[in-house]
């Protein structure tokens, strides 16, 4: 299972609330692991967007029903 993808052009440093960021990523990655079957993929990406950073967790798990 691949857990981390780092594009080469991505800055290595970002200013953020470390505790909040850790909790958010922990929840997203934990859910991705729980709901992705063996052989599936989980990808964590981040990219700079001006002074902001965009984080994305993508997986091949069962997903969330549209109603939720």
Q: Taking residues 33-40, what's their average pLDDT?
A: 91
Q: Is the pTM of this model over 0.85?
A: no
Task: Write down the residue that tokens 């505790």 correspond to.
Answer: 19
- The predicted structure's pLDDT at residue 27: 92
- The predicted structure's pLDDT at residue 17: 80
pLDDT level of residue 59 (50, 70, 90 thresholds): very high
Q: Taking residues 14-43, what's their average pLDDT?
A: 87
Computed over every residue of the chain, the mean pLDDT equals 81
DSSP state letters, 10-57: S-S-----HHHHHHHHHHHHHHHHHHS-TT--EEEEEEEETTEEEEEE
Using the predicted structure, report yes or no on whether residue 35 has a pLDDT greater than 80: yes
């Amino acid at each position: 299972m691949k857990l981390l993808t780092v594009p080469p052009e991505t800055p290595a440093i970002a200013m953020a609330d470390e505790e909040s960021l850790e909790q958010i990523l922990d929840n997203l990655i934990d859910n991705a692991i729980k709901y992705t079957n063996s052989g599936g993929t989980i990808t964590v990406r981040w990219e700079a967007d001006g002074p902001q950073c965009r984080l994305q967790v993508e997986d091949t798990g069962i997903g969330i029903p549209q109603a939720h």
